[in-house]
Structure formats: C-alpha cells, structure tokens
Structure 1
Amino acid sequence: MNAEPNHLQEVQVEGPQPLVRDIPKGEDYPVEALGVLREAVEAVEDKTQAPVAIAAQSALSIASLAVQGFADVETLGGTAPSSLFCLTIARSGERKTGCDKLLMAGLRDFEDQRAVDYACTLADAEREIKLYEAQETKLIRAASGAGGKAVEARADLKAMMRRPELPLSPNRTATDPTFEGLVKLYALGHPSLGLFTDEGGGFFGGHAMNGENRLKTCAGLSGLWDGTPINRTRAGDGASTLRGRRLASHMMAQPVAVRPLLADPIANGQGFLARFLICEPESNIGRRTRVGYNPESDAVLARFSAKLSGYLGAQMPLREGTRNQLEPAILKMSESAKGLLWEYYQETERAQRPGDKFCHVTPYASKSAEQAARIAAVQTLWASTEANTVSVAVMADAITLARFYLSEVVRLANAAVVSEKIDRAETLRRWLLNSWAEDIVLPSQILNRGPNALRETHKIKEALKILESYGWVVPLPVGVVVNGKSRKLAYRIIRE
C-alpha cells in the first residue's frame, strides 16, 4: 500500500463537537382532545401566552384532584384510581407558576375559607378534649378505690361518650413534599390530596429524593398512584394502615433537575417516573408579544374556579363508620370505549418488541393504556361526578392524549443525560454563538454580561474548560493584548 509523502497529505482539523445530543422538536399538544377542559386551558394560554402544554398539565392534574375521590375507573386489568401524576419540564421564565395560579384560584380560595372555619372548630374541639380527659381522670381515680362509689365510677367510665376528635385538616394540597409529610396529612386530614409544586427541582434534588430516602419516596408515591393502602409505623404508636387515600400531582421542574432522573435506576426500575404524564414543551420565550387578551377568558376561568370549589366542597363517598377513608364508586367503560382501549393497548404492546419504537421506554408504554383510562375518567367526572360510564368519544380523546405523552417520553429518553456542569457549558456555548458578537471573550465579560447561571467566576472558568475540551473555544497565549490590556486569560470562539 503506497502512502503519499507527508508534505502532500491534507490534514483536516476536526471541528467543535456537540456537548449534548439535540432533542428533536416535539409534536404539537393535542389541545382539541382535552374535551371539557379545553376551554379553561385555552383561556390560560390566552392570558399568559405560555406553552399550551403547561396549562394543559395544570388543568388535568387539578381536575384529577377535584374528582379522584368520587370514583375509580375500570381499566383493562381491573380498576384504578382516577388520579393523574403530571411532570412538566420547562426552563425558568416559561410562566409555569402563572398557569398554575390561574387554574388553582378556586382551590386556594376554598382552602383559605376552610382554614378560617378550621381555626374555630379546632379551638372548640381542644376544649372538649380537655373536659373529656379531666372527667376521665376523675372517674379512673374513683374507680380504683373500693366500695359503692368505685362500682359507680366504673359504670360511668363505660358509659362515657367516645373521645372527641380534632377536626380534619382543611388542606387539600401538601406543603411538605416528603412522603412522611404526606402520610401525616392523610392521617389527620382529607383523604384526597394534591402534591403540586413549581419548584420540582427542590423535590427531585432535595431530602425526599436523596440517596437515603429515594427508594422509600418512589415506592410510597407509586403506591398512592396505584391506590394501595399506606402502611404506617410510628414510634410509640405501633403500626397502622391508612386505606382509601388518593393523590393527584403536578410537578414542574427545569431540565437539569429532571433529566438525570430519567436515567436513574431506582426511579425507572420501580416504574416511578412511568406513572407520570411527562412533557417538555417548546419555549415561547421571546415570542410573547401580543398585547392584551380576550376578556371572555376571565369569565371562563371564573366558571372553572366555581366548579372546582363545588367539587372540593362536595361530600365524597366514605366507608361507613369512618370520617376520612374513601370508598369510591366504579366508573365503567362502555363496550365501544373498552374495545378502543384494547386496540390502543395492543398497539403499544407490539411496539415494545426488541428494536421497535417503544423498546427503550417499556415502563411508560406498558402503562400508557391505563393512563388513557385515567385521563378519560378525569374528563368524564369533571363533566359530572354522577357519571357512571366512559363514552367512546371521551376514550378516543384520552387515547390521543396518552399517545402524545408517550411520544414525549420517547423523544426525551433519546436525549443524553445532562449534568449540571455540562448544562452550564451548553448555556454558555449558546450565548457565545448567539449573543456575543466578537470573536474573543474574557471571563470578566461573561461575568458582567453573560447568562445568569454563570455569574460566578469559578463556574465560568469551569464552563470555558469544558468548551475548550469540546473544541468551541481556544485559549490565547498568556499576555495577549485585548482591548488595549495584557490578559492572563482570554479565549477565541470557534463558530464552526
């Protein structure tokens, strides 16, 4: 084999390498499939100009909280709660909180009013308990003696009324995102709760999901999604079981907080994340330039809030003899709805075969038919909690939504897991290419004018080192003159 002389060889310098795998653009959110929730979602989109998917996630989860206590839903494998877990991935500034605030207004008003009532009844209950305990102590002391008075005291003890109880906590949403906090609230409060946070990064990266608690949190929340009883063990009180509890959830978090979890063996091995409806909508930042909104949107959201408050205040079915153990009705599927769901199940099942499109997201694909049934239940019950059947039209819409969420998981799972350091470096790379007009940059210029995530010198130097290793910047010799001054550290930007 003949080789060309070295002086004739053409040397090609390899260009910059990507830091992260580009995530393909997702499908448009099928807002037309939201049915009875569509009007409210479009009103939120109109007022906030946020991605419609964020408003849809909020509406589905809030509606689930409102109706999950009334009925479980028939699925292809038995029954399941009509509870939905939603996870929205979006960067800061996407107006996630604004969407939630508009749709949760009725919930917050309801909780505020119930808190006032609770304060009054709590004080009365505490006085009754003190009187009960004083009377009980007096009778026990008398009963421990002898003679006729002791016999009479024992009879009075047996005749005493049941010990007064504290009123149930009026909260419908959890403020403590740990599983222990949820269990405590279930024991002392309403059996239908919501776990809502626009700071999902604090949950996924906090105490509830640290190395020590991750398994317990994933298992506990998965059990609540499944509707299984909660086994509760407390020091001094022994073990007890909490039955008939339901949980709806909407967590909103930034990509860097969630993507590592998509590859976490515990979160995925137990199917924890597969219980969530996950989406990462395309950003609207920079395009929200419309002035004003349709005044009818306020009327739509007022009707949504009124309906939400009405459902929250209605009596949910409880097991006889209990005050906070749900005994939901069963929402059946019509035969045509069931047939449609079977077709969807078979479609997703076949696509999980090796090499097929769902083979790498089998936990999600395996639950997609059940997710469709749950979505259909929420839509049906939001229309009327007296409903007893899911129609084929509602099931068709629910399958459309379930199919969208499954496509989102496929899209996101194909992306590389991004560490926090790589995410900062990618942020800097985009800023240098899109916002910095010069070919040379100094760390001090990035500190003063760069992205907010890079307002610390050590983070800037770290990000520049990463960009250097990937070929996006080249360090200039020490002492190079930039803007009339000798510089210890300066970089030339490679723009492909």
Structure 2
Amino acid sequence: MNMNINFNTFSILGGDLPPALRDAINEVESNTKAPRALVVSAALSALSTVGQGLINVQVPTTHSLRPCSLWLITLAESGERKSTIDRLFAAAIIEFQQRHATLLAKAWNDYRVEHKIWKAEEAALLKQLTRLGIRHGNGGDDLRVQIKVHAAREPIAPKAPKLLYEDCTIEALQHQLFGAWPNAALASNEAAVIFKGHVSQHLPVLNKLWDGDDVDIDRMTRESFTVKDARLTLSLMSQPKPFQDFVQRNDGEARSLGFLARALVCQPFSTQGMRFIDRPVTSWEHLPKFQRQLAGLLEQSVSTDGEPLPERETMVMSEEASQCWILYYNRVEQQSGLGGCYANCKDHAAKLADNVARLAALLQLLDGGEIISLQNVERSIVLVGWYSNEFIRLFCPPPPIPQVDLDLNMLNDYLSRLRGQGCRYVAKNYVRKYGPNALRNKQRLDPVLDRMVQLGWITLWLDEKKSKYMDLWPLLIFDQGGWEKRLVR
C-alpha cells in the first residue's frame, strides 16, 4: 500500500453539485480551512446516513434494486480537524436522535412498567403450572393455553430511531439493526479503535449489509435472528497508520474479501501551515440550510406510528441517465482488461458503477423527484472517479520501473551529449571508462546496449580484435573507410 504520496486536488468538486450540498461544502471548507476531500466525505456520509432509509436505486442493466448506502474512509493525520468537520455535518442527525428519544421517554417509562407487570403475570402462571405438576390433565392444559395467550401479549418496546454508532461491536450493531432501527451508520472521526478492534473478523457481514442482503445470526445460547432489509453507512476517519495496519492484517483480507473495493477511500493533502484567518467574522448561512434539508428528510423516514418506513422509494434513472451509466459501466469494464487502468484492481472496478448509481440517487434525493437526471449521473461519475483515482494511488501504484529501463534513460542522456558534441563512432570501452558510473560495470551496460540496438537507437559491431564499437547515428550511411579516424576511444 502506497501511503507516502500525499498530493491531490479536489477542484472537480468546485461547483457541479446540488446547490444545497455544494454551498454547504464550500462554506465549511472556507470557515474551517480543512482539506476539501475531508469536508466532501463528511457531507456525503451525512447524506448517505439520511437517504439510505428513504430510497433504493434501480440499476439499468438488471433492474434490480440496490441500497443507496455509501462507505467512506478518510485518512488524515492528527490536527486536520476531522472531529470538527464530522460534528458539523452530523449535527442534524444527532439532533433528530435526541429529539425522538425525548419524545419517546414517556413511552419507554410506560413500556417498562407494563413489561414488569407482564413478567409478574407470567411468573404467576408458571407457578400455578408448577403446583399442578407439569403434565397434561388436572387443569394443566387450560393453564398452558393461558400461558401461550399471555406470551403473545408481551409488550413491545417502542423504537427510537438511533442512526449513529461509534464505539459499538459488530454483534451489537447487528442486534440494533434487527430489533431497534434498520438504518444505521458506523461513524467515527477517530476510527483507529474500529480498525484495531474486531471489524476485521466481520468483514463478510459488513459486505452483506453493503449489498443489502439478509444476515443470519445463529446463536447457541441465545435466540437466533435474521437482519432483513437493513442499511449501513460507513463514515470512518482515521490516521493513516492504524488504517495501514488494518489493511495488512490477516494477509490483506480487507482487500481480498472486497471490503475496500466497496469503499470510497481518500487521503487528502494536508492544509496545515496554510489555514490563515482571512476575515474576523465567520458567516454560517448555507450549512444550516443543508442541515434543515437533512432534518426534513429524516422526518420522512419515520412513519406516522413512529416505526421505520415499511418500504423505501425506488429511484429510477431517466433514459439519458441510463445510457450514460451503461456507457460508464462499459468503459470501466474495458479498462479492467490487460493494460487497462483497472487491470490491477478489478475488485475495485467491479463496484464503481454501483457506487455511481447509489450516489446519483442520493443527489437526486436532494434535487427532488423519483427520476434520476443525466446531470446527477454525470456528477456522480466525476466524483466517484476522483475517489477511484485515490484508490489506485493508495492501493494500486504503478509497478516500479525496471532497472534496465532506468539505465536505458541514463545511457541515452549520456550518448545524446556525445552526439551534441559531434561524436558518431564510440568505443564501448570509452563508455565504460568515461560514461555514467553505474554503467561502467559490464553486467549493467550490456543489457542496455542490446536494448538500444533493438530500438534502433545505435548499432554495434566488432573489429578483428573483438573490440566492440557503436554507431550513434545508425540511420546515416556507414563511413566504411573513415570511421576509425572519427572514433572516440
């Protein structure tokens, strides 16, 4: 994994986004001076957390429904204002959770009292059954019926919409998705604790949640259950070192099992040392508007009876948008072949079109309407493409240049200087004596000379004494009678 190259720009996000999202991103970046990629990832995480409970997206090729959850992993050193950015964009979600928890406080108190009464009644019925003897007859059959009826009347705990989880095991998260609220975000601005924890032991489960598949939880000592139709956003901000350790753990399972391929990963260029104050008063105009839009969408994700929406709305691409998406899919597929830019990261390439569809649906959710526009597909292709470049930069760097090619460039520079001095015929021993130090060794020099001959840059020949010479201008007519007089030796 190449974690050293750390230069990138994010100018592609300058303006072509839905206005509310664009203006909020620009304002937060301007006021905090945090890296733009960090700001954008936090904004998309908030949008995914909110939107995943409202919509699915229909993929043009198979017409299958896909979740709209995004996984975003942002790598930044300490001091890059990860916590600040995370709090700013998560504010609407936190306020939504707190307000609904307050509204449900009385319902929870009533539930606890009713459940205690129910437990007491259950204990009384079971005690009666014990007195009669646990066998059929003697009135026991009627009592069994009463116990079954009573069990069916167990009070149901009110569901409070809890979306954000930080210090949470995967097992606890699964239980919450099953019994509490089916839409969640595993979000942390200090995700080292997550990467160092048990996440690596549950990557297949997380992958299933990204795919929208059911997750069966089998237990020996407790009741088994199945997580159905759940949605999970990942918003993980971490320093590079803990993430690098996570990626390398267990022989690189995070990559081989497809966890990283599903994620939009970036490592922004640091802005530390350039975060100057350019005005004394900070204006917050656009972020609150974006937060209000998120808050409105969050309210739509709760049904009138306080339950999660039974069905999500299906977002469908327009005909133009579908054609654009298919063209993008085919181009990615083409570049996954031998010699293509995705040849060494086919796992990542296989998820790109899916991420484009998800993001396009989320952007359309902000714009309004059920039909995804061509503009939002194009926006998503550009944005996902930037994250794709980051993935290639971090995980699929180009192979090192072979030493013979480096030597080829070195020798060509030297011979070009000789050509510039009017030299044409040069003895090999002259190069070994006066040429680049690294190439004065025969084992290093000979393969380079052979490559130059193959390329037609020089010709080589031997005289009767087996001495080797080279012609630096092989396309010119060879001076059969006078080459020795012009020889550089």
Query: Normalising by the residue count of structure 2, what TM-score does the alignment of the two structures yield?
Result: 0.72
Show the counterpart of 2:153: 162
Q: Which residue of 2 aligns with 1:172?
A: 163
Question: Aligned residue for 1:207?
Answer: 197
Partner of 2:285, secondary structure, is: helix
Distance 1:223 1:317, change over 3 A: farther
When residues 268 and 155 of structure 1 are mapped into structure 2, their CA distance, relative to the original with a 3 A threshold, is: closer
Whether the 8 Å CA contact 2:336–2:342 is kept in 1: the answer is: yes
Q: CA deviation at 1:147?
A: 9.8
- Contact conserved, 2:24 with 2:287, CA < 8 A, in 1? yes
1:270 maps to 2:257:
yes
Is contact 1:169-1:185 (8 Å) kept?
A: no
Alignment of 1:112-127 (within 5 A): 112-127=98-113
Per-residue deviation at 1:22? 5.2
2:197 maps to a residue whose letter is: H
Residue 109 of structure 1, aligned match among 79, 95, 101: 95
- The amino acid of 1:187's aligned partner reads F
Alignment of 1:205-284 (within 5 A): 206-209=196-199, 214=200, 216-262=201-247, 265-284=252-271
Q: Which amino acid aligns with 1:396?
A: E
Distance in 1 (alpha carbons) for counterparts of 2:247 and 2:308: 35
Aligned equivalent of 2:484: none
| Mapped partners of 1:176, 1:94: distance in 2 | 21
Match for 2:271: what amino acid?
Answer: N
- Residue 378 of structure 2 corresponds to 396
Q: Check 1:236–1:38 CA distance in 2 against 1; reply closer, same or farther (3 A cut).
A: same
Larger Rg: 2
Gaps of 5+ in 1: 1-19, 417-496
Contact 1:176/1:182 (8 A) holds in 2: no
1:376 aligns to what? 360
1:49 corresponds, among 28, 33, 52, to 33
Q: Does 1:35 align with 2:22?
A: no
- Equivalents in 2 of 1:222, 1:73: separation in Å? 18
Asked whether the 8 Å contact 2:10–2:36 carries over to 1, the reply is no
From the superposition, tell whether residues 42 and 359 of structure 1 become closer, same or farther in structure 2 (CA, over 3 Å). Answer: same
The whole-number CA distance in structure 1 between the counterparts of 2:261 and 2:168 is 19
Aligned with residue 300 of structure 1, among 272, 276, 286: 286
Percent identity at matched positions? 28
SS in 2 for 1:298: coil
Question: Which string of whole-angstrom CA distances, capped at 9 and with x for unpartnered residues, describes residues 223-277 of structure 1?
Answer: 1111111211233334221101101111011122223445553111111011111
Separation in 1, partners of 2:258, 2:301: 33
Give distance in 1, aligned partners of 2:388 and 2:397: 15
The AA in structure 2 aligned to 1:304 is: F
Distance 1:159 1:250, change over 3 A: closer
Code of the residue aligned with 1:227 in structure 2: it is G
Structure 2 residue runs of 5 or longer lacking an equivalent are 399-489
> What displacement does 1:303 show?
1.8
Q: Distance in 2 between matches of 1:234 and 1:293?
A: 59
State the distance in 2 between where 1:372 and 1:340 align.
Answer: 11
Q: How far has the Cα of 1:33 moved from its partner?
A: 3.4
Counterpart of 2:163 in structure 1: which amino acid? R
Structure 2 Cα separation of the partners of residues 50 and 366 of structure 1: 31
Pairs aligned (count): 387
Name the SS for the 2:158 alignment partner.
coil
TM-score scaled to structure 1, two decimals? 0.71
Q: Residue 23 of structure 2: SS of its match in structure 1?
A: helix
